[in-house]
Amino acid sequence: MLDIQNLQVIFGTGRLQVQAVKNASFHVEAGESYGLVGESGSGKSTVLRAICGLAPISGGHVRVDGKEVTTPRGKAFYRTIQMVFQDPYASLHPRHTVDRTLSEPLAIHGVKDAETRILQALREVGLGPSFRFRYPHQLSGGQRQRIAIARALILRPKVLLLDEPTSALDASVQAEVLNLLEDLRHKMGLTYILVSHDLAVVAHLCQRLLVMRNGESIEETTSAALRSGQASNSYTQSLIEASQGFSRDAPQPASSLAT
């Protein structure tokens, strides 16, 4: 479905040049859920942004269904791939109602039956029609993230790019949104690429994942291997340890080893 080969993303020129992604390659099958894990600055979000055209592709290949993506991306691309952003407080237009937010992609793509599509999208994400004419500030964080998911799903894409979809949410709300995402994937046969710094969330939602650090991919592993604690790479191992909580007799943390 999605094939990334030696992807490079470079921002700026000359002295200010930053290589955000140095070399990332992975392949995602249709219907699969793939995770990208790493700390801030590891380039995991930039990979997602490069896929959907929000960051430049400076080198390498991004292929969707075997075809190289064009810049700028066409309408057909956005009917296949949609993105859900991290912060539901920042990613919804504060002065647009839910109805307007959801009808915008339909208008751009010239979809006819907007009315039924909006109501259906709201139902799919577990919100009733009563939410249709609310503004974002009248919604809780979890409800906003549901609207963001509905907005992404309304064009019936095949792939969802999820950039830290639950890290701004409370634990109990996170569980609800994770369940919703899993449910939707099974019902609609979606493909996910999930970016998160939380290993447990990635292991919960994804089968395979890529560990990134400083713009490079460190190791590709499976969530089963994560669960059993089998990670060949010492950096992955230190991430697993850190996710277990604080420990008084831990060795030197990984981030002091390099950078």
Q: In Å, what is the CA distance from 237 to each residue of 42, 168, 199, 217, 242? A: 16, 25, 11, 15, 9
Side-by-side strand order, sheet with 67-68: 67-68, 59-64, 2-11, 18-28, 216-222, 208-213, 33-37, 191-196, 159-163, 81-84
Smallest distance from the beta carbon of 37 to other proteins, in angstroms?
A: 10
Per CB under 8 A, 197 contacts other proteins: yes
Find out whether 218 and 212 touch, Cβ atoms under 8 Å. Answer: yes
Amino acid letter for position 249 = D
242 binds other proteins (CB under 8 A): yes
Interacting positions 206-235 with other proteins (CB under 8 A):
226-227
Binding mask 20-59 for other proteins (x = CB under 8 A): -------------------xxx------------------
Least gap, CB of 196 to other proteins (angstroms)? 11
C-alpha 45/C-alpha 85 separation (Å) is 10
Q: CB of 190: closest distance to other proteins in angstroms?
A: 16
How far CA 3 is from CA of 28, 52, 221, 224, 236, in Å, comes to 6, 13, 17, 23, 23
Which residue among 141, 188, 214, 237 contacts other proteins (CB under 8 A)?
Answer: 141
Q: Which stretch binds other proteins (CB under 8 A): 68-76, 88-96, 152-160, 238-246?
A: 238-246
Binding other proteins (rule: CB under 8 A), the pick from 47, 50, 201, 212 is: 201
Residue ranges in contact with other proteins by CB under 8 A: 39-41, 141, 170-172, 174-176, 178-179, 182-183, 197-201, 203-204, 226-227, 238-240, 242-248, 250, 253-256
